[in-house]
């Protein structure tokens, strides 16, 4: 049905041309129009049906000016047209469009730090697609963000077009990369217990320094700030500052946008110690005594959340052993501000009856589900323990397989059930490296290694190493299954080949062997390893001017041995952030076949402690060992102890029994050794971002004891003569690895010992 219009309205409709550039609306004319026909002009690639579907104007029906405005907006928002014009001509509606051009090619100019291929993957504007200004601007913004993530906040990206024939354009992104926006200074306000120097060591973010060209941590990244706040919080609270807070973080950028200044405003609060520590039960029929026996928090001890968590885990184990479900161990703390102490009460309370309905894992494209699931001690159907879920999340992150790992719980199919969601983001876990090494004792060498810590997504480790230096060749293959037979049982298989040609000696050696082992925990800080060793070792090319003892020992022997090692290390649980201890005891029993019949025993005790506001580190180690033959077996050179790095200040094979009657005065090694090492590491006053610190050390020890002491002209002195050396060290943490320069002087030695006054160790990859 056609509506009749008055003469004035007909004249207005006939004379009105509605031309709408991009983004403009039609004038709001209070009139209605009826169109029986629509004509489209200017379309080249877009079909008429597509244009009409966007316009959505009905024929033969009343159309208001507002509806025409809406049609223009729909056409303009389609992203297909540069301009849109609508012209009513009586019963005819003319839609005139100008299509966006087609992108002929996309190019980048001015980029040096990021290759064209990488930028092309970032930009969504691509050749043979329609050019859209909004998309080009979005691409420019995305490219600028990539530069900003690399610390180049001053980078500018401008999209430009070059008109070509046949409605085509070349899209060019003009890039001005700018300099890296580095962090010139990190400062703190409110800190009294620790210096800025010590707190900057805690942060993931670093100041720019001598190696600013290589160190990427000195570029500002906003996403690192929450991590830095958490690191500071953990640092302070583990040292007794229970009320610590990061009140604000203020990053400021210089006017030239070439430097950042970051200030952490912190509130330390008082340092607390534990006063009274009690355990009570609020559950009828549950005795608190077995739980109290698991308490590891001591009166007078500095507050540390790790100690509390360790006690709670032990108490939860007791609850499981006694068949008690839905028991919460709640640590209730009362602050005594007057004397800066805390009263701690472990309360056994009845928790809600909530079960784990299921554990959903997403994002693991490579890693198998079972690798993630085995980090949970909770399985589907078990009572829900929020603390265990948090601990499992930390274990998943500690695997090192994921760039991000989020573990959260939500309500399940009922109020009594929860679903645990695990969302992970994979990251590369393998490395292939080629490099060079240098040591004063070994000279220059080259090495290659392949290492994969998540082999086939099974959480296994596979390492292959090849290296060669002056007179020294090494090759090894190492495989580790961390969850053997579905248990916390680490299986390791190691095979190796090594050969030396007159390396710090006048003879050659060769060794090839295998060593499978299993390792498992036997306490919170202790682990036990059981192993088997099968090796074939050869001592050859002993010259005629060497000791007759070595000449008698020349040859090849097969070793078949069973052994074990017990290691106890407080760093596993991190109960004391200031002081850590480690103990190790090992024995190997050779004689299960083979030629060697001996018992080799070694022991080591070590301590590391921080002092003077944690700016100075003290380390000390005492170790010793003995190899004893049985069934009339006499030890030989390759089975005895040699100096190595046990006592600094002396060359490898530089101390121990020596046949002075032989022309080359061979070092013979010894059946027994002990070594005491003590050192301190401290700042030198240089900016900490340089990674340079100093140290002092003092070593003492001895190697002695032979089964065969008969040399050419009589017995060889194999007595226990003490050697000692003092020295200074320079530590330098660099992107190519940690360097250590040792300058030493022997203060107690035998005349025939061989000193080494300087030592440098460097390992680099490229």
**What whole-number distance in Å separates Cα of residue 691 and Cα of residue 207?**
11
pTM for the model = 0.68
Q: What is the pLDDT of residues 262-313, one digit of tens each?
A: 999 999 999 999 999 999 999 988 999 999 999 989 999 999 998 898 899 8
Q: Are 544 and 520 in contact (CB under 8 A)?
A: no
Instruction: Give the pLDDT of residue 497.
Output: 96
Question: Which tokens belong to 216?
Answer: 């990427």
Mean pLDDT of 359-380: 91
- Are 341 and 295 in the same domain? yes
Euclidean distance between the first and the last CA atom of the chain, given in angstroms as a whole number = 81
- Are 257 and 372 in the same domain? no
Instruction: Give the pLDDT of residue 15.
Output: 30
Strand partners, 263: 187, 250
Instruction: Give the pLDDT of residue 544.
Output: 87
Residue where a domain stops, chosen among 99, 131, 163 = 99
Chain-centroid distance, C-alpha 340: 36
Q: What percent of the chain has pLDDT over 70?
A: 90
- Are 369 and 416 in the same domain? yes
Residue 381's CATH number: 3.10.20.310
- Are 251 and 328 in the same domain? no
Residue owning tokens 């019949």: 597
Q: For residue 73, give the 3-state DSSP assignment.
A: helix
Residue owning tokens 């490898």: 652
- Are 625 and 737 in the same domain? yes
Q: What H or E segment, with its residue span, contains residue 49?
A: helix 48-55
Instruction: Give the pLDDT of residue 24.
Output: 40
Q: Is the pLDDT of residue 25 over 70?
A: no
**What whole-number distance in Å separates Cα of residue 503 and Cα of residue 512?**
17
Place 436 in a pLDDT band, splitting at 50, 70 and 90: low
The bridge status of strand 37-41 relative to strand 92-99 is parallel
- Are 738 and 758 in the same domain? yes
Structural domain that includes position 107: 102-176
Domains in the chain, number? 6
Instruction: Give the pLDDT of residue 14.
Output: 29
Q: Is the pLDDT of residue 656 over 70?
A: yes
**What whole-number distance in Å separates Cα of residue 631 and Cα of residue 598?**
9
Residue 610 domain-assigned (yes or no): yes
- Are 359 and 401 in the same domain? yes
- Are 114 and 47 in the same domain? no
**What whole-number distance in Å separates Cα of residue 224 and Cα of residue 201?**
15
Q: What is the pLDDT of residues 233-255, one digit of tens each?
A: 999 999 999 999 999 999 888 77
Q: What is the pLDDT of residues 601-630, one digit of tens each?
A: 999 999 999 887 778 999 999 999 999 999
Question: Which tokens belong to 365?
Answer: 């494209």
Q: Are 721 and 750 in contact (CB under 8 A)?
A: yes
Instruction: Give the pLDDT of residue 550.
Output: 93
Q: Are 635 and 610 in contact (CB under 8 A)?
A: no
Mean pLDDT of 411-426: 92
Q: Is the pLDDT of residue 5 over 50?
A: no
List the Cα angle 450/455/461 in 5-degree steps.
65
Residue 484 domain-assigned (yes or no): no
- Are 41 and 172 in the same domain? no
Q: Is the pLDDT of residue 419 over 60?
A: yes
Q: What is the pLDDT of residues 500-537, one digit of tens each?
A: 886 666 889 999 999 999 999 998 789 999 999 999 99
Residue 391 domain-assigned (yes or no): yes
Residue owning tokens 């490219």: 143
Q: What percent of the chain has pLDDT over 90?
A: 48
**What whole-number distance in Å separates Cα of residue 7 and Cα of residue 502?**
115
Q: What crossing angle do the helices spanning 386-398 and 305-321 adopt, rounded to 10°?
A: 120
Residue owning tokens 């080494």: 756
- Are 551 and 633 in the same domain? yes
Q: φ and ψ at 51, to 5 degrees?
A: -65, -45
Burial class (CB in 10 A: 0-12, 13-18, 19+), 727: buried
Q: What crossing angle do the helices spanning 65-77 and 48-55 adopt, rounded to 10°?
A: 130
Residue 476 domain-assigned (yes or no): no
Q: Where are the alpha helices (DSSP H) in 608-689?
A: none
Place 173 in a pLDDT band, splitting at 50, 70 and 90: very high
Mean pLDDT of 178-204: 87
Question: Which tokens belong to 309?
Answer: 């968590």
Q: For residue 221, give the 3-state DSSP assignment.
A: coil
Residue 478 domain-assigned (yes or no): no
Q: Are 86 and 57 in contact (CB under 8 A)?
A: no
**What whole-number distance in Å separates Cα of residue 703 and Cα of residue 496?**
27
Residue 166 domain-assigned (yes or no): yes
**What whole-number distance in Å separates Cα of residue 612 and Cα of residue 195?**
10
Residue where a domain stops, chosen among 224, 242, 267 = 267
Question: Which tokens belong to 357?
Answer: 């309905």
Place 679 in a pLDDT band, splitting at 50, 70 and 90: very high
Counting every residue written for the chain, the total comes to 766
- Are 21 and 57 in the same domain? yes
Mean pLDDT of 693-710: 94
Residue 500 domain-assigned (yes or no): no
Residue owning tokens 């219009």: 5
Q: Are 348 and 283 in contact (CB under 8 A)?
A: yes
Residue 311 domain-assigned (yes or no): yes
Place 37 in a pLDDT band, splitting at 50, 70 and 90: confident
Q: Is the pLDDT of residue 561 over 90?
A: yes
Instruction: Give the pLDDT of residue 274.
Output: 95
Mean pLDDT of the chain: 85
Residue where a domain stops, chosen among 350, 384, 405 = 350
Q: Is the pLDDT of residue 736 over 80?
A: no
Residue owning tokens 């060769």: 510
Instruction: Give the pLDDT of residue 443.
Output: 62
CA distances 330 to 321, 349, 390, 408, Å, are 19, 7, 15, 21
Place 79 in a pLDDT band, splitting at 50, 70 and 90: confident
- Are 731 and 601 in the same domain? yes
Instruction: Give the pLDDT of residue 44.
Output: 75
């Amino acid at each position: 049905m056609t509506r009749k219009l008055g003469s004035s309205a007909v004249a207005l409709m006939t004379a009105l041309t509605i031309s709408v550039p991009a983004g403009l609306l039609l004038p709001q004319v209070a009139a209605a129009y009826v169109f029986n026909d629509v004509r489209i002009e200017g379309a080249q690639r877009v079909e008429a049906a597509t244009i009409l579907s966007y316009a959505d104007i009905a024929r033969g029906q009343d159309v208001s000016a507002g509806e025409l405005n809406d049609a223009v907006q729909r056409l303009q928002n389609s992203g297909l047209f540069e301009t849109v014009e609508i012209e009513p001509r009586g019963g005819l509606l003319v839609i005139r469009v100008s299509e966006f051009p087609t992108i002929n090619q996309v190019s980048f100019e001015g980029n040096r730090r990021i290759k064209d291929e990488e930028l092309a993957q970032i930009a969504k504007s691509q050749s043979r697609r329609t050019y859209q200004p909004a998309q080009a601007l979005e691409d420019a913004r995305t490219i600028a963000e990539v530069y900003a993530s690399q610390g180049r906040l001053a980078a500018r990206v401008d999209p430009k077009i070059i008109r070509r024939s046949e409605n085509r354009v070349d899209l060019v992104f003009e890039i001005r990369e700018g300099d890296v926006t580095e962090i010139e200074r990190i400062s703190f306000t409110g800190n009294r217990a620790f210096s800025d120097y010590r707190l900057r060591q805690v942060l993931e973010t670093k100041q720019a320094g001598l190696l600013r060209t290589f160190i990427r941590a000195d570029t500002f990244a906003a996403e690192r700030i929450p991590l830095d706040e958490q690191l500071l919080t953990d640092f302070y609270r583990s040292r007794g500052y229970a009320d610590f807070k990061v009140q604000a973080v203020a990053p400021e950028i210089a006017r030239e946008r070439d430097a950042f200044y970051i200030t952490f405003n912190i509130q330390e609060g008082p340092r607390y110690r534990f006063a009274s520590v009690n355990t009570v039960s609020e559950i009828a029929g549950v005795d608190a005594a077995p739980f109290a026996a698991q308490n590891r928090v001591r009166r007078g001890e500095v507050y540390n959340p790790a100690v509390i968590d360790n006690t709670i885990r032990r108490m939860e184990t007791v609850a499981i052993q006694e068949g008690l479900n839905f028991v919460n161990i709640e640590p209730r703390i009362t602050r005594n501000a007057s004397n800066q102490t805390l009263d701690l009460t472990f309360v056994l309370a009845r928790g809600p009856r909530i079960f784990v309905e299921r554990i959903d894992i997403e994002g693991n494209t490579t890693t198998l589900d079972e690798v993630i699931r085995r980090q949970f001690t909770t399985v589907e159907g078990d009572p829900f323990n929020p603390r265990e879920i948090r601990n499992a999340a930390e274990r998943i992150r500690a695997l090192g397989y994921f760039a991000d790992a989020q573990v959260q719980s939500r309500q399940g199919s009922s109020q009594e059930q929860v679903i645990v969601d695990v969302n992970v983001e994979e990251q590369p876990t393998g490395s292939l490296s080629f490099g060079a090494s240098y040591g004063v004792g070994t000279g220059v060498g080259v090495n290659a290694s392949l290492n994969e810590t998540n082999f086939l997504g099974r959480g296994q480790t596979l390492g292959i190493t090849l290296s060669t230096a002056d007179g020294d060749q090494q090759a090894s293959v190492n495989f580790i299954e961390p969850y053997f037979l579905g248990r916390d049982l680490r299986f390791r298989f190691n095979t190796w080949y090594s050969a030396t040609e007159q390396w710090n000696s006048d003879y050659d050696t060769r060794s090839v062997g295998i060593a499978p082992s299993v390792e498992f925990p036997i306490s919170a800080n202790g682990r036990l390893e059981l192993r088997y060793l099968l090796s074939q070792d050869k001592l050859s090319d002993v010259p005629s001017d060497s000791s007759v003892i070595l000449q008698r020992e020349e040859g090849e022997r097969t070793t078949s041995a069973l052994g074990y090692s017990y290691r106890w290390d407080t760093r596993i649980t991190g109960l004391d952030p200031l002081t850590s201890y480690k103990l190790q005891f090992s024995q190997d029993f050779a004689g299960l076949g083979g030629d060697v019949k001996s018992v080799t025993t070694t022991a080591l005790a070590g301590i590391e402690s921080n002092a003077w506001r944690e700016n100075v580190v003290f380390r000390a180690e005492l170790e010793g060992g003995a190899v004893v033959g049985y069934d009339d077996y006499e030890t030989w050179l390759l089975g005895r102890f040699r100096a190595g790095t046990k006592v600094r200040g002396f060359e490898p094979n530089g101390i121990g029994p020596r046949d002075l009657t032989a022309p080359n005065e061979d070092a013979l090694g010894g059946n027994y050794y002990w070594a005491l090492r003590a050192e301190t590491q401290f700042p030198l006053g240089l900016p900490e971002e340089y990674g340079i610190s100093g140290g002092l050390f003092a070593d003492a020890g001895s190697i002695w004891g032979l089964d065969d002491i008969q040399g050419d002209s009589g017995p060889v002195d194999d007595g226990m003569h003490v050697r000692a050396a003092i020295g200074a060290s320079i530590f330098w943490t660099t992107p190519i690895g940690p360097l250590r320069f040792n300058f030493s002087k022997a203060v107690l030695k035998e005349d025939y010992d061989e000193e080494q006054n300087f030592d440098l160790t460097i390992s680099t990859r490229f």
